[in-house]
């Protein structure tokens, strides 16, 4: 807070109210050996103008996507945020509202969540959606636990085509539970290895968790993966890019049972990595296992439409041993941003964004291969992100790009040792042809 109104007189009044004479008495239960009995070793206080100058100087050392042309993705993407999104979500009734525990007092907020759930169902082709999760990674972990509860099975198949950080989150969630996680390798084309899948997918499997498009940007054969899971009696749980659904078949149409997504690209800025937005939807028969909040529509005694929290499977509302999750909140403001974004773009607008991502990414990939000495890492089709073998060390390449105002791709070797020397580049609708051509020009430079 920049303005702290508490005065010495205010503090003395509060102490008197609780029956104490000094602030130290508030900490009487803290052992003396744990207390600091001298002033902190900090520089002297600054005036507000002096402090602001110091902070501005420190902030100027950072470079954001507003300063650099961004070709970095790997989970968080530089998509355009229409001005209407921040204009609406920063209205006081949305920006400062707390979670809707007293539902009947929060009709406006509950309606916005209900609209969000409806849009998620329309986007994914699923029957029901919750009020949002923390992010795509934890949403996939929650989906795994949900699948375990629904199938009464204890084995999960986790392809290495999933983002390494997402895989780590899922493993962390499942570690204290009686579940086993089986890794699946990728094949030479960049997708889930079908031979390994056939070998590991059996009647013990609760779910096959996969990413589409996957971590490498490649498109998986999602219908085949879902069909394979179902033949073994397991659930199919894809992690999708919601922007891609402007073009790709919705998961509900190719047999997904639970769908999760990272919704950052839907009207949410990158924000230095967070907060993010987890989308989650499922088939109707799994609805009672769905974690988090759900908002339903009803009518009151006078026939007026009203909104309320319903079918809550979280431990805050039902017996703990019957809860499918202990998640107690959601990303309501980020979900509202996604709602405004989707309503603003509409079906055709989202399709156009997807088309631009697809076309520009393929133009960039082709130019880098033909004119800059890069080699495709995989042969599968891709959406807006692609992996390439670089003609020079990726760290050196990124340093060269950075010096020219370009934020290069992810050095894949830092997360996937087998892909040392490969880079993962993302191209969104914000990138222009001139920017892509400049990327190729700098990347092809040979000292």
Question: Whole-angstrom Cα distance, residue 216 to residue 73?
Answer: 11
Specify the pLDDT at position 316.
Answer: 54
* Alpha helices by DSSP H, 201-331: 222-231
Given a cut of 60, whether residue 99 has pLDDT beyond it is yes
Whether pLDDT at 412 is above 70 = yes
Q: Is 373 left (phi over 0), alpha (psi -120 to 50) or beta?
A: left
Structural domains of the chain ordered from first start:
69-81+347-443 (3.90.1150.10), 84-341 (3.40.640.10)
Q: What is the per-residue pLDDT across 373-397, written as a single tens digit (0 to 9) for each?
A: 999 999 999 999 999 999 999 999 9
Of the pLDDT bands very low, low, confident and very high (cuts 50, 70, 90), residue 313 is low
pLDDT of residue 98: 67
Could you tell me the pTM of the whole model? 0.89
The pLDDT of residue 327 is above 90: no
pLDDT band at 311 (very low <50, low <70, confident <90, very high): confident
Q: Mean pLDDT, to the nearest integer, of 143-159?
A: 96
Q: Quick one: pLDDT band at residue 103, thresholds 50, 70, 90?
A: low
Supply the pLDDT for residue 17.
Answer: 94
Least confident interval from 44-58, 117-131, 414-428: 44-58
Query: Cβ contacts of residue 62 below 8 Å, gap of 6+?
Result: none
The stretches of 175-266 forming alpha helices (DSSP H) are 194-200, 222-231
Residues 240, 259: contact at Cβ < 8 Å? yes
pLDDT at 314 (0 to 100) = 52
Helix, strand counts (H, E) of the chain: 12, 15
- Is the pLDDT confidence value at 336 over 80? yes
Q: Provide the pLDDT confidence category of residue 65 given band limits of 50, 70 and 90.
A: confident
């Amino acid at each position: 807070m920049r303005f702290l109104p508490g005065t010495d007189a205010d503090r003395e009044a509060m102490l008197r109210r609780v029956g104490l004479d000094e602030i130290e008495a508030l900490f009487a239960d803290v052992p003396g050996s744990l207390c600091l009995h001298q002033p902190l070793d900090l520089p002297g206080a600054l005036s507000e103008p002096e402090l602001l100058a110091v902070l501005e100087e420190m902030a100027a050392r950072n470079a954001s996507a507003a300063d650099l042309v961004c070709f970095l993705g790997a989970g968080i993407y530089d998509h355009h945020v229409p001005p209407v999104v921040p204009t609406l979500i920063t209205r006081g009734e949305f920006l400062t509202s707390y979670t809707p525990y007293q539902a009947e007092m929060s009709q406006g907020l509950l309606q916005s969540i209900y609209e969000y759930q409806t849009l998620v169902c329309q986007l994914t082709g699923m029957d029901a959606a919750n009020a949002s999760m923390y992010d795509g990674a934890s949403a996939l972990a929650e989906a795994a636990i949900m699948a375990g509860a629904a199938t009464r099975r204890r084995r999960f198949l986790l392809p290495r085509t999933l983002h390494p950080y997402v895989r780590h989150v899922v493993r962390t969630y499942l570690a204290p539970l009686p579940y086993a996680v089986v890794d699946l390798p990728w094949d030479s084309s960049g997708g889930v290895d079908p031979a390994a899948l056939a070998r590991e997918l059996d009647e013990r499997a609760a779910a096959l968790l996969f990413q589409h498009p996957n971590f490498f940007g490649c498109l998986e054969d999602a219908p085949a993966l879902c069909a394979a899971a179902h033949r073994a009696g397991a659930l199919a749980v894809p992690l999708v890019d919601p922007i891609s659904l402007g073009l790709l078949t919705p998961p509900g149409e190719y047999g997904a049972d639970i769908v999760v997504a990272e919704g950052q690209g839907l009207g949410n800025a990158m924000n230095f990595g967070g907060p993010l937005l987890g989308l989650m939807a499922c088939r109707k028969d799994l609805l009672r296992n769905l974690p988090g909040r759900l908002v339903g529509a009803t009518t009151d005694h006078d026939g007026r439409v009203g909104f309320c929290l319903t079918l809550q499977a979280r431990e805050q509302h039902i017996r703990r041993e019957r809860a499918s999750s202990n998640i107690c909140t959601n990303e309501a403001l980020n979900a509202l941003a996604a709602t405004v974004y989707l309503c603003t773009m509409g079906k055709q607008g989202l399709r156009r964004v997807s088309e631009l991502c697809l076309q520009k990414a393929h133009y960039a990939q082709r130019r880098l291969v033909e004119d800059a000495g890069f080699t495709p890492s995989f042969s599968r089709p891709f959406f807006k992100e692609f992996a390439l073998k670089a003609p020079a060390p990726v760290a050196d390449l990124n340093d060269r790009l950075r010096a020219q105002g370009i934020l290069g791709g992810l050095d894949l070797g830092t997360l996937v040792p087998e892909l040392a020397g490969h880079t993962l580049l993302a191209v969104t609708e914000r990138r222009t042809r001139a920017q892509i051509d400049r990327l190729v020009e700098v990347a092809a430079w040979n000292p």
